[in-house]
């Protein structure tokens, strides 16, 4: 019996080590199947983190900083326009008070001073990503737009008695305030504020190392999103009381606005004459200012009442901002009205004196309701009913591999790609 010959020596058929990569542009794909890369080695690849940069290092080095968007620049331009207008208004108000002092001039002077301070502070700080400047500008834009719309309505109704001048002033103001409100609510403006808050460590980023953001202690572990405060199952009595106070403010303000419009129409000759109306004594100026103040209180109280009823955190913040501003206007109006009443009460007939007394009581009641709403919104029960959500940025990093240098295929094909398990080499069977 003849034995088969011994198997041939196949050691030379084994896989040989790959030669070093050629000196040339990086190739993309397995074995360079997709051609040369379009970027140099070490250049950041779109959609990937920089080589050797962790998310924590990016946060610490300010890699999230972005170019100031055009919306922020537009907001600053509008705020500086308001600053210039306020400065001009301050000059004319002071000149008018020097020639002829009128308590109502204090309202215009106070509003001009407030607008100048708000425009200057917010215009500077909003470019630095300060959230309080954004909120302050937002509330001021809402109140300013409401006041401008009120002026447009009054100017349209009383066109023949100076309404054309009011429209000439309020229409540009309404356009500026409306544009400012839209720019503040854009996505780019809100992202600008968010990214600066992340850099300052005011916002926690889930999944990031504990040392990634300033103000966070520790070097290990991962920053977990803080748990949101739990709202009580039942509305606290303080929150219900606050909603009731705001509802009364809405009703009282609506009645004051109606009375002011009726008095203005009567003085303009477009409505029946009421000889018991106090406007016959103090004229149309107090009626106009009372209507504007009441309309601001109406808008603010209505928004706050709806928000607090639903337990919204923004409604609580909004109430804390608009109540002091409207309180100053309402208190000054009540003081001036009371002073005029004490001066003319002795010469007025009893029916007119009674009607004027009711107006003063309503003015003082509006002031009391605004103060009560401001105090109630600061109570712990209302804070627990309107909890704020913790500031957490939902930023997702997509891990993608950096381009690798090409590898030359061996005698039996290309080398296994990175990221896939190494396959065991198969040899021909030996006999």
Write the DSSP assignment of 198-247 as a string of letters: HHTT-SB-TTSBTTSSTT---SSSB-PPPPPPPPPSS--HHHHHHHHHHH
Comparing 284 with 348, the larger pLDDT belongs to: 348
Q: Name which of 23-27, 341-345, 422-426 the model is least confident about.
A: 422-426
Q: Kindly state whether residues 174 and 266 are assigned to the same domain.
A: no
C-alpha span between 58 and 103 (Å, rounded) = 57
Total domains in the chain come to 2
CA 119, 120, 121, 126 torsion-angle sign? positive
- Kindly state the average pLDDT of the residues 56-73: 66
52 part of a folded domain:
no
| Position 16 in a domain | no
Q: Are residues 276 and 325 in the same domain?
A: yes
- d(CA 161, CA 163) in angstroms, rounded, equals 6
Residue 177 located in a structural domain: yes
Q: What is the pLDDT of residue 216?
A: 46
Task: Note the pLDDT of residue 240.
Answer: 93
Supply 180's token pair: 């400012």
For residues 245 and 335, state if they share a domain: yes
Does residue 265 lie in a domain region? yes
Residue-wise pLDDT for 251-260, tens only, equals 999 998 888 8
The predicted-structure confidence for 304-332, as pLDDT tens digits, reads as follows 999 999 988 888 888 988 898 888 888 88
- For the chain, what is the mean pLDDT? 75
Q: How far is CA 42 from CA 33, 49, 62, in A?
A: 21, 11, 19
Whether residue 86 is found in the same domain as residue 131: yes
Q: Are residues 138 and 242 in the same domain?
A: no
The Cα–Cα gap between 356 and 341 comes to: 7
191 and 118 in a single domain? The answer is yes
Residue in 381, 253, 370, 367 with CA at minimum distance from that of residue 308: 381
**Residue 128: domain span:** 62-209
Q: Of 386, 406, 422, which residue sits at a domain end? A: 386
Instruction: Evaluate whether residue 42 is within a structural domain.
Output: no
| Residues 144, 191 within the same domain | yes
Give residue 308's pLDDT. Answer: 92
Q: Domain ends where: 386, 401, 420? A: 386
In a domain, 168, yes or no: yes
Q: What is the CA radius of gyration of the chain?
A: 35
> Do 240 and 193 share a structural domain?
no
Say if residue 378 is in the same domain as residue 237.
yes
Same domain, 105 and 246: no
- Output 401 or 150, whichever has higher pLDDT: 150
Regarding whether 203 and 253 lie in a shared domain, the answer is: no
Q: For the residues of 86-129, what is the DSSP string, one character each?
A: HHHHHHHHHHHHHHS--HHHHHHHHHHHHHHHHHHHHHHHGGGT
pLDDT tier for residue 220 given thresholds of 50, 70 and 90 = very low
User: Quick one: which of 47, 18, 17 has its CA closest to 403?
Assistant: 47
Cα separation of 189 and 210, whole Å?
28
Return the residue matching tokens 């070097």. 219
Q: 406 in a domain, yes or no?
A: no
For residue 170, give the DSSP letter.
H
Q: Is residue 409 part of a domain?
A: no
Residues 188 and 241 in one domain: no
């Amino acid at each position: 019996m003849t034995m088969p010959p011994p198997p041939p020596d196949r050691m030379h058929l084994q896989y040989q080590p790959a030669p070093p990569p050629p000196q040339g542009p990086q190739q993309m794909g397995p074995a360079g199947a997709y051609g040369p890369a379009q970027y140099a080695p070490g250049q950041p690849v779109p959609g990937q983190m920089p080589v050797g940069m962790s998310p924590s290092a990016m946060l610490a080095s300010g890699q999230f900083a972005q170019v100031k968007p055009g919306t922020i620049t537009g907001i600053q331009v509008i705020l500086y326009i308001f600053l210039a207008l306020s400065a001009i208004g301050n000059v004319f108000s002071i000149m008018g008070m020097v020639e002829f002092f009128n308590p109502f001039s204090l309202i215009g002077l106070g509003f001009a001073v407030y607008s100048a301070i708000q425009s200057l502070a917010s215009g500077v700080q909003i470019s630095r990503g300060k959230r309080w400047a954004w909120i302050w500008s937002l509330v001021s834009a809402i109140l300013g737009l409401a006041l401008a719309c009120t002026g447009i309505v009054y100017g349209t109704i009383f066109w023949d008695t100076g309404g054309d001048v009011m429209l000439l002033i309020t229409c540009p103001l309404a356009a500026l305030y409306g544009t400012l409100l839209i720019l503040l609510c854009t996505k780019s403006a809100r992202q600008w504020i968010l990214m600066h808050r992340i850099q300052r460590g005011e916002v926690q980023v889930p999944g990031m190392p504990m040392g990634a953001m300033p103000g966070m202690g520790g070097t290990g572990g991962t920053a977990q999103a803080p748990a949101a405060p739990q709202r009580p199952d039942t509305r606290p009595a303080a929150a219900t009381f606050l909603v009731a106070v705001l509802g009364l403010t809405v009703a009282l303000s609506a009645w004051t606005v109606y009375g002011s419009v009726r008095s203005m129409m009567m003085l303009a000759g477009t409505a029946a004459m009421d000889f018991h109306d106090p406007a016959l004594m103090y004229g149309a100026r107090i009626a106009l200012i009372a209507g504007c103040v009441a309309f601001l209180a109406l808008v603010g109280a209505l928004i706050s009442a709806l928000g607090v009823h639903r337990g919204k955190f923004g409604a609580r913040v909004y109430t804390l901002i608009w109540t002091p501003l409207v309180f100053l206007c309402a208190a000054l109006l009540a003081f001036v009205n009371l002073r005029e009443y004490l001066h003319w009460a002795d010469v007025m007939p009893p029916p007119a004196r009674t009607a004027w007394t009711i107006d003063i009581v309503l003015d003082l009641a509006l002031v009391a309701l605004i103060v009560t709403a401001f105090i109630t919104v600061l109570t712990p029960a209302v804070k627990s009913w309107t909890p704020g959500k913790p500031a957490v940025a939902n930023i997702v990093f997509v891990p993608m591999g950096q381009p690798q240098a090409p590898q030359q295929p061996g005698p039996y094909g290309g080398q296994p790609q990175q990221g896939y398990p190494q396959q065991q080499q198969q040899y021909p069977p030996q006999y």
